[in-house]
């Protein structure tokens, strides 16, 4: 009887921990949007120049991976939260070229709101599915990582090729990959595979950020108006 009670208590404790990680992740994810919006606003309002081309891509990846390394190294302390918020500000700044180009359309504001609404809807639906579904999405991890590497290489290649058709293809595939990552990352928390809310927030933030940017790019291609 005592063994059964201990097993029940242990199971209850695990569920409580997972619930707390998920709750803290969602709160920190919401908070991380504030520096992102601030960075984007400053970048667009002050016309902050962003390095382009191959060297710009290498510089961006270097800074981004530096932030990610620092966040993971300090994920057990408040320093990790500070670095995460600094990273999201940086990522907001990096939206400057895309937002400036989109705002150049007569319906640019509408496109941005449509991309935001679409991203929020995708996140809400897939996070809910990952929470209630009995299906195991853990097997997606290695395939999604491989797909992400291919996307990065294709994006760098397209800097030199400049092909609109390839840009559209990359955006469509990226939306699919990072949407699937939401399923994977949320279920990692639910199943206890991810127990640190800072790491979990970082993963989900990158999912949401990439869905938004690629969706906005597609909307600009398809519905941008210069009239």
**Domain layout of the chain by residue ranges:** 2-223
Q: Report the SS3 class of residue 46.
A: coil
For residue 48, is pLDDT > 70? yes
pLDDT at residue 12 in the model: 56
What six digits make up the tokens of 16? Answer: 């409580």
Residue 162: predicted pLDDT: 78
Mean pLDDT of all residues in the chain? 88
Q: In Å, what is the CA distance from 28 to each residue of 32, 44, 162, 197?
A: 6, 25, 37, 8
pLDDT band of 7, cuts 50, 70, 90: very low
Cβ–Cβ < 8 Å for 21, 189? yes
pLDDT band with cut points at 50, 70 and 90 for residue 140:
confident
**pTM, full prediction:** 0.90
Residue 128, pLDDT score: 93
What was the pLDDT predicted at 18?
A: 81
Tell which residue, 194, 183, 185, has the closest CA to residue 75: 194
pLDDT surpassing 90 at residue 164: no
pLDDT in tens, 10-37: 455 677 778 888 999 999 999 999 999 9
When comparing pLDDT for 121 and 152, which is higher?
121
Residue 116 and residue 122: Cα distance in Å, rounded? 10
Residue 160: CB atoms within 10 A of its CB come to 9
Share of the chain above pLDDT 70, in %: 92
**pLDDT, tens only, 120-133:** 999 999 999 998 88
Region of 53 (left: φ > 0; alpha: ψ -120 to 50; beta: rest) is left
> In the structure, what pLDDT confidence band is assigned to residue 64 with cuts at 50, 70 and 90?
very high
Q: Among the residues of the chain, which ranges form H helices?
A: 2-45, 53-73, 78-93, 96-103, 108-132, 140-161, 164-190, 197-223
Residues in Cβ contact with 224 at an 8 Å cutoff, skipping those fewer than 6 apart: 102, 105, 107, 108, 111
């Amino acid at each position: 009887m005592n063994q059964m009670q201990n097993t029940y208590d242990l199971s209850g404790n695990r569920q409580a921990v997972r619930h707390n990680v998920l709750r803290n992740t969602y709160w920190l994810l919401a908070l991380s949007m504030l520096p992102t919006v601030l960075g984007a606003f400053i970048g667009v309002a002050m016309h902050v120049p962003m390095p382009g081309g191959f060297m710009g891509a290498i510089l961006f990846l270097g800074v981004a991976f530096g932030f990610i390394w620092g966040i993971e190294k300090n994920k057990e302390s408040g320093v990790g939260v500070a670095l995460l918020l600094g990273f999201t500000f940086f990522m907001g700044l990096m939206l400057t070229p895309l937002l400036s180009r989109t705002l150049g359309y007569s319906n640019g504001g509408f496109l941005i709101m449509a991309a935001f609404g679409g991203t929020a809807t995708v996140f809400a639906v897939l996070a809910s599915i990952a929470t209630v579904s009995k299906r195991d999405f853990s097997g997606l991890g290695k395939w999604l990582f491989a797909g992400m590497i291919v996307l990065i290489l294709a994006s760098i290649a397209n800097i030199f090729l400049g092909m609109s058709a390839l840009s559209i293809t990359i955006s469509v595939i990226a939306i699919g990959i990072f949407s699937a990552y939401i399923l994977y990352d949320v279920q990692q928390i639910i199943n206890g595979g991810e127990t640190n809310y800072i790491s979990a927030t970082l993963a989900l933030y990158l999912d949401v950020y990439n869905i938004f940017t690629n969706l906005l790019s597609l909307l600009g291609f398809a519905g941008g108006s210069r009239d």
